[in-house]
Amino acid sequence: MMSLLVIAAIVISIALGYKTKINIGLFAIAFAYLIGCFAMGLSPSDVIMMWPLKMFFIIFSVCLFYSFAIVNGTLEKLAEHLLYSCRRFPHLLPYAVFITSALIAALGAGYYTVLAFMAPITLLLCERTRMSLILGAMAVNYGALGGANFVSSQSGIIFRTLMVNSGIPENTAFINSFGIFASTVAIPLLVITGFMLFTGHKKSMQSSTYTITPPTPLNREQRVTLQLTLLMMALVLLAPIAHIVFPDNQTVTFINSKMDIGLIASVFSVIALLLKLGDERKAMAAVPWSTLVMICGVGMLIAIAIKAGTIDLLASWIGTSIPPVLVPVAFGVVAALMSLFASTLGVVTPALFPIVPPIAASLGIDPLLIFICIVVGAQATSISPFSSGGSLLLGSCPTEKSRAEFFPKLLFRAAPLGFVAALVFNLVLSFVL
């Protein structure tokens, strides 16, 4: 009975958030309090302790440092340079948009930020170069998603933290994050290539006469910001990789044990402020507070679900009702359906990741396979106009007329295409691994 109550609370939170446009995390916090204190007999302190403090600190610290690159225009200028480098090969523009979006997101901007400033540029390029709106939308959306899944970027950090909180060892979670990143970058590239080869799109773009104007060079603040960003990424990546390669080396083990991306990012934020790379108030304002509230609020409600035994109940049901080989695929389909209306970072992965370890253990499946299928499925339908990615793309349309024409293309062509590609990939992965 308690498990049904918690599941109903999660569904109602999503529905209310979608209907009222109020942050889902706020509804989740309210339900966590009401169910935890009045239905389960927990104390208010117990419920407050369920706020995922470590995840909040890591995301806040990393986003604060990366916000300097947003505030002083480093990422936008870098995007202009990358797109300009493709000017002589117009038919490669979809790849340029994809790679630019992925690289900027991997450098720490995060999915929503990249989409916010890359989507208008991409739609303008579609208008002037005869690039298909569907192709442009997929390139920028899935590029931003794939890049943000990099282990030192926003989504990758969230996935890794969720895995560790679910009982996955730190080093294994690091490797799993690489698997998710590689998968979510490979699938869109295959889809874009298929689109280019089988729709005659390459020929129409080659006939375009549109030229991209040369960008201005990076200024001092932008150059230093880029150097700091690359240095921080190197620090974050080298220690765990070295520990995986040299697991018995005591020095490497000691250094790796002291590495924490949230604390490293805090140090780099101080360096950025001392070097005057951006205004502190603007950098603080650029932190995605609404995303933080959504992720942590839903995290509280998921913690209540774990306390109530809901996660174990769901794991038991899935483990006994679905053939083991199809379990990862089923997770991918559920994630895709949830992502049509809810955030991958704020709702889908916090709800599904805790179920993975017990199911994987009982069925003898590698958790990596299920984690990949969940993220691939969820991100496949994020281009739906009802989801965050699609709504940002629609918001980038210059006129109401273009927005009305773009809506059915996203809903009936882009989202189904992404879903089918993800389903095929998950099926192949499930039978190969």
- Inform me whether the pLDDT recorded for 133 exceeds 80: yes
- Inform me whether the pLDDT recorded for 423 exceeds 80: yes
Higher pLDDT, 258 or 18: 258
- Per-residue pLDDT tens over the stretch 38-48: 999 999 999 99
How far CA 418 is from CA of 42, 331, 337, 411, in Å, comes to 43, 16, 12, 11
- Inform me whether the pLDDT recorded for 209 exceeds 60: no
Angle between helices 74-84 and 93-104 (to 10 degrees): 160
- Inform me whether the pLDDT recorded for 394 exceeds 90: no
- Per-residue pLDDT tens over the stretch 401-416: 778 888 888 888 888 9
Model pLDDT, residue 431: 85
What mean pLDDT is reported for the chain?
A: 88
- Rounded mean pLDDT, 182-190: 94
Q: What is the pTM of this model?
A: 0.85
Query: Cα(66)–Cα(85) distance, rounded to whole angstroms?
Result: 24
- Inform me whether the pLDDT recorded for 366 exceeds 80: yes
How far CA 387 is from CA of 56, 177, 291, 316, 334, in Å, comes to 23, 23, 14, 30, 15
How far CA 28 is from CA of 294, 346, 433, in Å, comes to 8, 11, 36
Q: 429: number of CA atoms within 13 Å, CB side? A: 30
What count of other Cβ atoms lies within 10 Å of the Cβ of residue 25?
25
Contact between 75 and 225 under an 8 Å Cβ cutoff? The reply is no
Contact between 67 and 181 under an 8 Å Cβ cutoff? The reply is no
What count of other Cβ atoms lies within 10 Å of the Cβ of residue 190?
12
- Rounded mean pLDDT, 369-388: 89
- Inform me whether the pLDDT recorded for 384 exceeds 80: yes
CA angle 23, 24, 29 (to 5 degrees): 105
Model pLDDT, residue 210: 59
Instruction: Give the pLDDT band of residue 204 (cuts 50, 70, 90).
Output: low
257 Cβ contact list (under 8 Å, min separation 6): none
- Per-residue pLDDT tens over the stretch 265-290: 999 999 999 999 999 999 999 888 98
Instruction: Give the pLDDT band of residue 247 (cuts 50, 70, 90).
Output: confident
Higher pLDDT, 201 or 404: 404
Model pLDDT, residue 207: 59
How far CA 422 is from CA of 154, 243, 331, 343, 380, in Å, comes to 22, 33, 12, 17, 6
H or E segment and range at residue 197 = helix 170-198
Model pLDDT, residue 206: 58
As a whole-number percent, the residues of the chain with pLDDT over 70 amount to: 96
- Inform me whether the pLDDT recorded for 263 exceeds 90: yes
Model pLDDT, residue 341: 73
Contact between 299 and 342 under an 8 Å Cβ cutoff? The reply is no
Query: Cα(139)–Cα(364) distance, rounded to whole angstroms?
Result: 36
- Inform me whether the pLDDT recorded for 135 exceeds 60: yes
Contact between 297 and 47 under an 8 Å Cβ cutoff? The reply is no
34-38, 76-80, 386-390: which range is least confident on average?
A: 386-390
As a whole-number percent, the residues of the chain with pLDDT over 90 amount to: 42
- Inform me whether the pLDDT recorded for 208 exceeds 70: no
The tokens for 234 are 């190197």
Model pLDDT, residue 229: 92
Instruction: Give the pLDDT band of residue 205 (cuts 50, 70, 90).
Output: low
- Per-residue pLDDT tens over the stretch 65-96: 989 988 998 988 888 887 787 777 777 888 98
